[in-house]
């Protein structure tokens, strides 16, 4: 029967349909024998029994007797205290009946889990009062804990042949189908053997099956569906065919899958996490529109190997200035882009404020070649859309490795944006891989047993043993076999801190060097505030060494928040784009105190968002950053500077150029728009911690005001490495996320005075390179400990008497080896006009402009021409909209 399923037209066959009726799962297995039914009260002659059916035919209607069951287990009320680990794991459950399977029935449970189990509360006559299925993770984690130690899930090629191993503890039967290619029918079908202790199924074949396609046939009970025969790919697939229809057997250690020089190639090294200066980049964006790249390689991994292209010359220039890492948006196998036959829309020649361009893009969005890719299908294989041949599993592996080698050769480490917090689908969807193998296990469920979707999609549950293992094993694979140097975790706050710390240890051990971890530590959804576990979130990672993105300074710099719509986009100005000092026509008059409060939040970021760093706040009080308020949260939360990622723009939300279009006065000159952009970049460059820059920040990149370009096609995600066009005015952005704001956008997009020309783009790029050079010139901008930051960084011009249009930061290099300078004093003046600061505590010193400003090739000539320091008084005159640094050289 499995042989027919290998080549059946559909991916599933329902062998025994479940009877109609509710399919909720309001009860939980806590471990192999204990159950909790939240809200249920048992007593007064009632009983609770666990009904079971191998074929999934149970019918439990209120007021009637249970029908269709093979039998029922009597349960005991459990009145003891839960073991500490269980009490902690299931602390989110409401109070209710806690029940236990009797000793004499415990041995039957593994077999019963392969069918339907229904918890039924009955009256003395056996009539149903209530019934529910159970959420199964607690039982499977306990029964099959030994599976966590298995190190060869997937298809493994060795000296003795090929082994297949799949974790499917609730399956009734598993077979593997073997195929010659992506289209050929199965030429062999082999049953796998179940391992009782682990719940894994395995098969060893004596041949080296490298290159063969395979799928699994899994017979399994699915709540609400019945007994189903699923044809499914391998969740541990290291190789895939076109459109991920079939897994491919690959040996990642095989010489044929290694580019020339792979074994001897080395990656650039950094000394500490705070040395990271990261550039976030999408593989397709990098070269799709770069005419200097061979046509076949545009939008592909191999574009990075064309060292003479405009894009690679640009990356090398950034690396030479001080950029350390390129972080690639998702490059694992994703579900949203057709690997074979994706289409490109024809964009009409229309006005800059026309809806026609977006209409053309959205008409084919589901079938086009672009998506950010935050919709994982297989975690362990490279995405085929970026390979030269989507049907060739070897091509995507080789070409990915060649890309890594090329970036390493350019002096750049390689980071991956990884998405383990959700999958693209669950249940019996064709893109559901995990859930069609172990139904109900890999995802997180609400109180009724529906999949939680707070992340956008179907939330995974890395608090479950084998989902955490899959995440850790996957990261280890990328670090070991693809030489990934760092990882950025999407919505990392939805994962347990403990799992992330295990992952950190595992990837470091696999790579034999530190692998740096950063992620989005946002605190929201069903896991918020530690509801289910200690999260890998901003305020819960102190001491872990794992970095989280800080929204504190981001919002203060940009103004407002990422969810703003309507008039708030215009009215909520930020520190760099006019708050109080340069109001646009839509901004209300606000007190100077608001600007001072915003400047303090910027200082918090410059001090690494460190919870214990102390400074004098605008109200005159000496406060730690944890005592300064940010939207009801502490402004400072990190324990060490390496635990914070500083940024003012990334792939999410509007680019900085676009948000400034909303917020700057409309008559702001093109040059000043470039300068404001670089003020934002300067905040990131001068901040303690990790510096994170979005690709195109330095070229004034615009997405034509799009607030969410994840599915906006190539048209709204373009980058021009020739520095001629930033693509502002490419039409109204796509309707799904932007339509309600089109009336605000139209006059802005139609304004011919906003779009920068090549001169402004080149100015911005040059200023950005100089900022990187300044950051790289001394470790004083990259201090490694909170103690060092507190000792060496201070903020003149702070407190109630400050001029909040200017932030000054003083870095003291006394006693620190290799600083290059005895002292550094940096200024960021956001006002259009020059400002003068009197800093008598710094007078009498030999302050000179930083060498970068003094070089003949300095991009911004304002510091050298207009900045002035009076030694006797300590008076500094600072040009308008300028970031600059002074230094005191070491004594000879």
Q: What is the DSSP string of 791-836?
A: HHEE-SS-STT--TTEEEEEEE-TT-TT-SSSEEEEEEE-SSS-EE
The predicted-structure confidence for 705-729, as pLDDT tens digits, reads as follows 999 999 999 999 999 999 999 999 9
Helices (H), 90-136: 109-112
The yes-or-no verdict on residue 892 having pLDDT over 80 is no
Whole-structure pTM value? 0.97
Catalytic-residue membership of 788: no
Provide mean pLDDT across the span 12-34. 94
Catalytic entry in 520, 555, 582, 760:
520
**Integer CA distances (angstroms), 249 to 6, 73, 162, 213, 445, in order:** 17, 43, 9, 6, 33
The predicted-structure confidence for 788-845, as pLDDT tens digits, reads as follows 999 999 999 999 999 999 999 999 999 999 999 999 999 999 999 999 999 999 999 9
The yes-or-no verdict on residue 104 having pLDDT over 70 is yes
Provide mean pLDDT across the span 563-579. 97
The yes-or-no verdict on residue 136 having pLDDT over 70 is yes
Contact indicator for 284, 369 with CB cutoff of 8 Å: yes
The yes-or-no verdict on residue 891 having pLDDT over 80 is no
Structure tokens at 145: 């804990």
Tell me which of 41-45, 445-449, 853-857 is least confident: 41-45
User: Which residue shows structure tokens 């975790």?
Assistant: 489
Provide mean pLDDT across the span 666-691. 98
Residues counted in the chain: 892
Helices (H), 51-158: 84-89, 109-112, 137-143
**Extended strands (E) in 91-144:** 96-101, 116-122, 128-132, 134-135
Report how far residue 379's alpha carbon sits from residue 675's, in angstroms, rounded to the nearest whole number. Answer: 41
Catalytic entry in 280, 289, 490, 711:
490
**Integer CA distances (angstroms), 101 to 33, 125, 810, in order:** 5, 22, 66
The predicted-structure confidence for 637-667, as pLDDT tens digits, reads as follows 999 999 999 999 999 999 999 999 999 999 9
Structure tokens at 695: 């690709």
Provide the pLDDT for residue 617.
98
Give the other-Cβ count within 10 Å of 160's Cβ.
11
Contact indicator for 782, 646 with CB cutoff of 8 Å: no
The yes-or-no verdict on residue 45 having pLDDT over 90 is no
Average pLDDT, rounded, for the chain: 97
The dihedrals phi and psi of 423, each to the nearest 5 degrees, come to -115, 165
Provide mean pLDDT across the span 67-87. 95
Provide mean pLDDT across the span 122-138. 96
The predicted-structure confidence for 532-541, as pLDDT tens digits, reads as follows 999 999 999 9
Q: Percent of the chain, pLDDT > 90?
A: 98
pLDDT band at 20 (very low <50, low <70, confident <90, very high): confident
Report how far residue 241's alpha carbon sits from residue 394's, in angstroms, rounded to the nearest whole number. Answer: 9
- Give 12's strand partners: 230
The yes-or-no verdict on residue 771 having pLDDT over 80 is yes
**Extended strands (E) in 656-697:** 690-694
pLDDT band at 1 (very low <50, low <70, confident <90, very high): low
Catalytic-residue membership of 671: no
**Nearest CA-CA partner of 140 in 27, 23, 29:** 29
Provide the pLDDT for residue 72.
98
């Amino acid at each position: 029967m499995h042989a027919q399923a290998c080549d059946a037209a559909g991916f599933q066959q329902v062998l025994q349909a479940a009877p109609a009726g509710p399919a909720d799962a309001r009860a939980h297995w806590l471990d192999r024998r204990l159950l909790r039914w939240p809200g249920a009260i048992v007593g007064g002659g009632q009983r609770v029994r666990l009904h079971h059916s191998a074929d999934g035919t149970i019918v439990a209607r209120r007021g009637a007797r249970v029908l269709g069951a093979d039998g029922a287990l009597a349960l005991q009320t459990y009145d003891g205290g839960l073991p500490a680990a269980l009490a902690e794991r299931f602390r989110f459950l409401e109070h209710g009946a806690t029940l236990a399977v009797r000793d004499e029935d415990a041995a039957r449970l593994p077999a019963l889990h392969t069918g339907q189990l229904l918890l039924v509360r009955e009256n003395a006559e056996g009539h149903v009062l209530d019934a529910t299925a159970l959420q199964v993770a607690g039982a499977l984690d306990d029964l099959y804990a030994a599976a966590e130690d298995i190190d060869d899930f997937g298809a493994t090629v060795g000296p003795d042949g090929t082994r297949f191993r799949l974790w499917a503890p609730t399956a009734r039967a598993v077979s593997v189908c073997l195929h010659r290619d992506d289209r050929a029918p199965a030429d062999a079908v082999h049953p796998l053997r179940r391992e009782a202790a682990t719940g894994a199924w395995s098969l060893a074949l004596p041949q080296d099956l490298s290159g063969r396609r395979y799928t699994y046939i899994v017979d399994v009970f699915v709540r609400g569906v019945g007994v189903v025969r699923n044809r499914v790919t391998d969740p541990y697939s290291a190789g895939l065919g076109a459109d991920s229809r079939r897994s491919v057997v690959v040996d990642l250690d095989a010489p044929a899958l290694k580019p020339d020089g792979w074994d001897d190639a080395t990656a650039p090294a950094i000394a500490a996490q705070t040395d990271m200066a990261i550039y976030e980049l999408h593989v397709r964006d990098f070269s799709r529109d770069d005419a200097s790249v061979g046509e076949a390689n545009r939008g592909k991994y191999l574009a990075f190997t064309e060292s003479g292209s405009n894009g690679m010359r640009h990356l090398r220039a950034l690396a030479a200035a001080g950029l350390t890492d390129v972080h690639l948006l998702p490059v694992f196998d994703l579900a949203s882009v057709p690997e074979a036959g994706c289409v490109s829309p024809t964009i009409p020649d229309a006005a800059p404020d026309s809806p026609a361009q977006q209409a053309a893009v959205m008409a084919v969005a589901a079938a086009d070649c672009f998506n950010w890719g935050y919709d994982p299908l297989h975690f362990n294989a490279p995405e085929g859309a970026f390979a030269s041949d989507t049907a060739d599993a070897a091509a995507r592996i080789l070409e990915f490795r060649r890309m890594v080698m090329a970036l390493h050769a350019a002096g750049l480490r390689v980071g991956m944006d990884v998405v383990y917090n959700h999958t693209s689908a669950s249940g019996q969807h064709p893109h559901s891989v995990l859930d069609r193998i172990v139904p109900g296990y890999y995802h997180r469920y609400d109180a009724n047993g529906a999949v939680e979707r707070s992340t956008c999609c179907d939330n995974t549950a890395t608090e479950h043993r084998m989902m955490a293992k899959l995440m850790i094993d996957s990261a280890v694979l990328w670090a070991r076999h693809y030489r990934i140097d760092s990882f950025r975790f999407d919505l990392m706050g939805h994962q347990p801190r403990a799992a992330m710390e295990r992952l950190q240890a595992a990837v470091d051990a696999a790579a034999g060097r530190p692998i740096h971890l950063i992620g989005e530590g946002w605190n929201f959804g069903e896991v918020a505030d530690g509801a289910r576990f200690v999260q890998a979130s901003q305020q819960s990672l102190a001491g872990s060494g794992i970095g989280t993105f800080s929204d504190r300074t981001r919002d203060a710099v940009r103004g407002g928040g990422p969810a703003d719509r309507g008039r708030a986009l215009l009215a909520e100005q930020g520190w760099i784009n006019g708050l109080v000092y340069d109001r646009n026509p839509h901004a209300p008059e606000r007190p100077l105190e608001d600007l001072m409060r915003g400047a303090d939040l910027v200082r918090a970021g410059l001090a690494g968002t460190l919870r214990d760093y102390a400074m004098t706040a605008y109200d005159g009080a000496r406060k730690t950053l944890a005592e300064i308020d940010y939207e009801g949260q502490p402004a400072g939360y990190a324990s060490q500077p390496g635990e914070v990622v500083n940024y003012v723009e990334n792939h999410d939300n509007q680019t900085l150029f676009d948000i400034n279009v909303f917020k700057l006065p409309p008559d702001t000159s093109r040059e000043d728009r470039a300068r404001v952009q670089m003020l934002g970049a300067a905040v990131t460059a001068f901040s303690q911690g990790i510096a994170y820059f979005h690709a195109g920040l330095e070229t004034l990149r615009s997405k034509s005001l799009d607030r969410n370009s994840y599915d906006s096609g190539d048209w709204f995600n373009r980058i021009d490495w020739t520095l001629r066009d930033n693509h502002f005015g490419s039409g109204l952005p796509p309707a799904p996320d932007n339509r309600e704001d089109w009336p605000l956008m139209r006059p802005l997009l139609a304004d011919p005075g906003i779009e920068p020309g090549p001169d402004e783009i080149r100015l911005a790029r040059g200023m950005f390179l100089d900022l990187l050079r300044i950051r790289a010139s001394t470790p004083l901008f990259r201090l490694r400990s909170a103690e060092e930051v507190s000792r060496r960084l201070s903020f003149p011009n702070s407190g109630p008497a400050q001029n909040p249009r200017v932030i000054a930061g003083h870095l003291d290099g006394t006693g620190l080896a290799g600083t290059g300078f005895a002292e550094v004093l940096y200024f960021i003046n956001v006002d259009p006009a020059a400002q003068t600061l009197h800093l008598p505590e710094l007078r009498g010193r030999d302050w000179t402009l930083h060498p970068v400003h003094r070089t003949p090739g300095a991009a911004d000539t304002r510091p050298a021409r207009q900045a002035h320091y009076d030694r006797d008084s300590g008076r500094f005159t600072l040009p308008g909209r300028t970031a600059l640094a002074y230094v005191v050289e070491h004594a000879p």
